[in-house]
């Protein structure tokens, strides 16, 4: 065994020994990264085409984000919400304006933000809509992925996420994704919200039928129901717009944000809504020790500043066309279907050829990192800073894997 093999093998062995097996990672041990590239413990470079499930929209160690974090580290990193710090209002105002909403409630992880949205929707239902206490219902879609807390997995239709974690939290109604008629039939006087991903990422980057969200918006408005858009993976530039739901010219009542909001540096999440929705919360009813901490706000404010320029949305739109067209050219050459928007694609591989896991392992052997989901599907979501040349390189390597080279 060479020294190179030993370093990777030893690190993988230690990880396997000391951690719970809640992930099945590829046999790559990353040590550093910059832009769209990472380097492993043995010095081998990989093109990162997963970008932390969109947490790294701006790439690894974006200079502006790193500078903002460094500057804040020299000042103060945590106060808790028991006090107000000097970066808090700046971040909240900037994010509220980016979303076109009155208020922002910062949290840490995406799951926390989803839980926050659920609590706010229920309280709004009781205090504003007049739903009887304990009867609030939230409609969700089959194939959803909103996180892994006990409440969230209660309405998951993925057996891996759902099974063996009961008893489950009641109050959720599951309907098919992309089916406005089924959604309309599920609404009752006790419905307080519809919680949807504008594009279902974990399900394989499923883009809903054109006009779907327009119909959902009309239904929610007509029935006095909140439309909650989970933009944790799809938002903040990933699809070529600031928010994926903008492709349908729809504005939700509440945005749920995370991942890229932390710039790949710290976990940052938030919900954004107007005052008549988020204003239902009173002191003591919801909170987080680390939510809205100074370091998170400093990084988050810089993320908002980057998005204000429109540069990353434009890059995603332009490069996304290049990505999707390059993948569609492989249909019939081992690919059976391609879905996506912007720099985000789900690729179904002919299962007779290989599984998604096998494809990702072979891509990794060629220096390309991607992630499989649901058997024969892989997801590609490179950082928005990727170059045309690097994107073409990834497509070339993917074609080689499909050809068995």
Of the listed 58, 145, 172, 243, which one is catalytic?
145
Kindly compute the dihedral angle of the four CA atoms of residues 130, 132, 133, 134, in this order, to the nearest 10 degrees.
Answer: -120
230 is catalytic: yes
Instruction: Collapse the DSSP code of 296 into the 3-class scheme (helix H, G, I; strand E, B; otherwise coil) and give the result.
Output: helix
6 is catalytic: no
- List the beta bridge partners of residue 174: 140
Tell me the C-alpha to C-alpha distance, in Å, between residue 15 and each of 19, 41, 83, 327, 370: 6, 14, 39, 34, 20
145 is catalytic: yes
- Asked if 236 and 260 touch (Cβ cutoff 8 Å), the reply is yes
Residue with tokens 């000391």: 18
Strands (E), 197-253: 226-230
Greatest extent of the chain over all pairs of C-alpha atoms, in Å: 69
Of the listed 101, 129, 259, 371, which one is catalytic?
259
Rg over CA atoms, the chain: 21
Cα separation of the two ends of the chain: 25
Of the listed 58, 129, 172, 230, which one is catalytic?
230
> Rounded CA gap, 396 and 386, in Å?
15
| All residues at 6 or more sequence positions from 10 whose CB lies less than 8 Å from its CB, including other chains | none
Active site residue ranges: 145, 230, 259
């Amino acid at each position: 065994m060479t020294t190179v093999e030993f370093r990777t093998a030893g690190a993988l062995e230690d990880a396997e020994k000391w951690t719970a097996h809640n992930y099945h990672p590829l046999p790559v041990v990353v040590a550093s990264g910059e832009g769209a590239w990472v380097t492993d413990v043995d010095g081998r470079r990989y093109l990162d085409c997963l970008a932390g499930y969109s947490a790294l929209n701006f790439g690894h160690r974006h200079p502006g984000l790193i500078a903002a974090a460094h500057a804040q580290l020299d000042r103060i990193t945590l106060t808790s919400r028991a006090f107000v710090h000097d970066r808090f209002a700046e971040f909240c105002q900037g994010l509220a304006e980016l979303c076109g909403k009155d208020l922002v409630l910062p949290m840490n992880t995406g799951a926390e933000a989803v839980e926050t949205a659920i609590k706010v929707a229920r309280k709004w239902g009781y205090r504003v809509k007049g739903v009887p206490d304990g009867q609030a219902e939230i409609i969700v879609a089959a194939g959803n992925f909103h996180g892994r807390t006990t409440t969230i997995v209660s309405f998951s239709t993925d057996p891996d996420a759902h099974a063996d974690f009961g008893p489950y939290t009641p109050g959720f109604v599951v309907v098919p994704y992309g089916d406005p008629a089924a959604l309309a039939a599920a609404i009752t006087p006790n419905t307080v919200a519809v919680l949807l991903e504008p594009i279902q990422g974990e399900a394989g980057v499923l883009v809903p039928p054109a006009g779907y969200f327009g119909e959902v918006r009309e239904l929610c408005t007509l029935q006095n129901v909140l439309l909650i858009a989970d933009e944790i993976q799809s938002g903040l530039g990933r699809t070529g717009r600031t928010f994926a739901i903008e492709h349908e010219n729809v504005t939700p009542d509440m945005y749920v944000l995370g991942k890229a909001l932390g710039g790949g540096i710290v976990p940052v999440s938030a919900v954004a809504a107007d005052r008549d929705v988020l204003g239902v919360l009173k002191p003591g009813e919801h909170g987080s020790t680390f939510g809205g901490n100074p370091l998170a706000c400093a990084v988050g404010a810089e993320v908002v500043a980057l998005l204000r320029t429109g540069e990353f949305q434009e890059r995603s739109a332009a490069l996304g066309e290049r990505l999707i067209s390059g993948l569609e050219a492989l249909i019939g050459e081992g690919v059976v279907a391609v879905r996506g928007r912007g720099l985000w694609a789900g690729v179904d591989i002919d299962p007779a050829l290989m599984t998604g896991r096998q494809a990702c392992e072979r891509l990794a052997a060629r220096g390309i990192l991607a992630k499989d989901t649901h058997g024969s599907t892989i997801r590609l979501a490179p950082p928005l800073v990727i170059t045309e040349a690097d994107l073409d390189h990834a497509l070339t390597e993917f074609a080689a894997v499909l050809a068995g080279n």
